[in-house]
Structure 1
Amino acid sequence: MSKPKVIFLDAVGTLFGVKGSVGEVYQTLSNQAGVGASAKQLDQAFYRSFAAANAMAFPDVSNVEIPHREYLWWLAIAKDTFQRAGIFQEFSDFEGFFEGVYQYFATAEPWIVYDDTLSSLQRWQTMDISLGIISNFDSRIYAVLEALNLKQYFESITISTEAGAAKPAPLIFTTALEKHGCRPQEAWHVGDSRKDDVKGAEAVGIRGIWLKRPSQTKIQAPRIA
């Protein structure tokens, strides 16, 4: 393979993931709030709620308003998740509970960096390849990357809420390319979603590489000659 000028990477599911599962984290935090919960039920409910939600992107919204819109987006998913799990009514102050959950996911505590993430990033850096993130995440990603000691590796971070479009929409990819002054054919994008990462990247001419992590296994990092 010829060496790219830039390698973009997805964040969650590619560089790092949730310790255990979202349901397990929700169960632990619910128990701390005095509410009994089933991790399995919460996990199933969360993924149904997440799949049914609109894309987390806010075109024509000012930068000042974006963090609040992000918060409301996740609050709606959390409410629906706990309603589907049948325990929403057990919270005396669900929004107060959720505020703690939201802040918790901005720390390093719920996340695990995959074993091969650092070695891959370091190897690409030694080859003078610029690195960037393209993610359907919210602005907490800056705090998370800092807490996980990953932020230093990336020259750009492009997220759906700030770009005004979520993967696989072309705009988020072209926005990232502009930050590097890079042509599509000079870039790769690595991610764990065939639809969002591979097909989204290829639609704008970026080489898309599917990273399959069936059980949080290691990155099969593409070798560059």
Structure 2
Amino acid sequence: MPAAAAARGPLLLLRRQPAPGLAVIRRSFSSPYSGMRCASAAAGGRERRSSPAYDGLLLDAGGTLLQLARPVAKTYASLGRRYGVSKREENIMEGFKRAFSASWPKTLRYQGDGRPFWRIVVAEATDCTDNDYFEEVYQYYAHGDAWRLPAGAYKMLRDLKNAGVKLAVVSNFDTRLRKLLKDLHVSDMFDAIVVSSEVGHEKPAPEIFKIALDQIGVEASKAVHVGDDETADKAGANAIGLECWLWGEDVKTFSEIQDRILTRLPQ
């Protein structure tokens, strides 16, 4: 074979034989958008949007979001020993409840720091009017260590916030509340913190609920309030068309609250 032909031999063979896997390559390009359609459909399934059942959650503080780290009567008794408090814990608790159920002559029970009201409660519960004792009790409850969050509360707040639900505290409380929420690392979770001693209205007054709803920008019909008092929380909220779940009755865990709020509704 001439040298020129020998040199062209491999090229001729390549021309005569189809490229390996060419049919497979052709098939893969026969429908250039088929794979994209499949990927798009899968992505579309993942990205389908749905909305929570409620746009806003209002939460009571004391007795709902904030729970005592230990029983109030035990704290009053232990702190009162060096001040001469000798009442039994059950009797302290009776006096405590008696003070709370008594009518309050002023518009607000919690004015400013709440000391006038709490001074009466401590004296009624313990029969001790020593000012140093009262201040020790008062300061004890001004720190987060005296309180705790119920199981699942922090997770619920975090997950609802991530889901776009607006969150607010609506509480009959004194000026210590903001610090307590900060101590317990939840104050930044809330879009609004509405405290009766600051806004001049106490539950069940409709104004305090309206203030909270205005601050989070949610209508009453699209929000729910959770609290532990039949009159202050449920009757007050219902009066302005705001649904209310009673803590310990309608809902018993914060995971249950989360599940009910995040129940998906088709858009």
Do these two structures clear the TM 0.5 threshold for a shared fold by scoring above it? yes
Shift of 1:38: 1.8
SS of equivalent residue, structure 1 residue 182: coil
What is the match of residue 52 of structure 1?
102
| Structure 1, gaps ≥5 residues long | 60-65
SS of equivalent residue, structure 2 residue 144: coil
Structure that is richer in helix per residue:
2
Q: Does 1:78 align with 2:113?
A: no
Shift of 1:182: 2.6
Q: Does 1:168 align with 2:213?
A: no
Higher relative contact order, chain-length normalized (CA < 8 Å, sep 6+): 1
Cα 1:56–1:6 change in 2 (3 A) is farther
SS of equivalent residue, structure 1 residue 128: coil
Please give the residue correspondences for 1:2-81 in structure 2 after superposition, counting only pairs within 5 Å. 3-54=53-104, 58=108, 66-67=111-112, 70-81=114-125
* 1:89-112 C-alpha deviation (Å, 9 max, x unpaired): xx6xx1121111111101022212
CA distance in 2, matches of 1:192, 1:203: 16
Q: 2:172 aligns with which of 117, 136, 143?
A: 136
Please give the residue correspondences for 1:152-163 in structure 2 after superposition, counting only pairs within 5 Å. 152-163=188-199
Letter in 2 for 1:31: R
Cα 1:177–1:6 change in 2 (3 A) is same
Letter in 1 for 2:74: E
TM-score (norm 2): 0.71
Shift of 1:73: 1.7
What is the match of residue 137 of structure 2?
101
What is the match of residue 22 of structure 2?
none
SS of equivalent residue, structure 2 residue 145: coil
What is the match of residue 214 of structure 2?
178
Assess if the C-alpha contact under 8 Å between 2:226 and 2:244 holds in 1: yes
Assess if the C-alpha contact under 8 Å between 2:87 and 2:126 holds in 1: no
Assess if the C-alpha contact under 8 Å between 1:134 and 1:173 holds in 2: yes
Shift of 1:28: 1.4
Q: 1:149 aligns with which of 178, 181, 185?
A: 185
CA distance in 2, matches of 1:42, 1:118: 32
Assess if the C-alpha contact under 8 Å between 1:135 and 1:158 holds in 2: yes
Assess if the C-alpha contact under 8 Å between 1:57 and 1:162 holds in 2: no
What is the match of residue 63 of structure 1?
none
TM-score (norm 1): 0.83
CA distance in 2, matches of 1:174, 1:11: 17
Cα 1:185–1:223 change in 2 (3 A) is closer
Q: Larger Cα Rg: Structure 1 or Structure 2? A: 2
CA distance in 2, matches of 1:55, 1:24: 29
**Aligned length in residues:** 208
Shift of 1:36: 2.9
Q: Does 1:118 align with 2:154?
A: yes
Assess if the C-alpha contact under 8 Å between 1:24 and 1:43 holds in 2: no
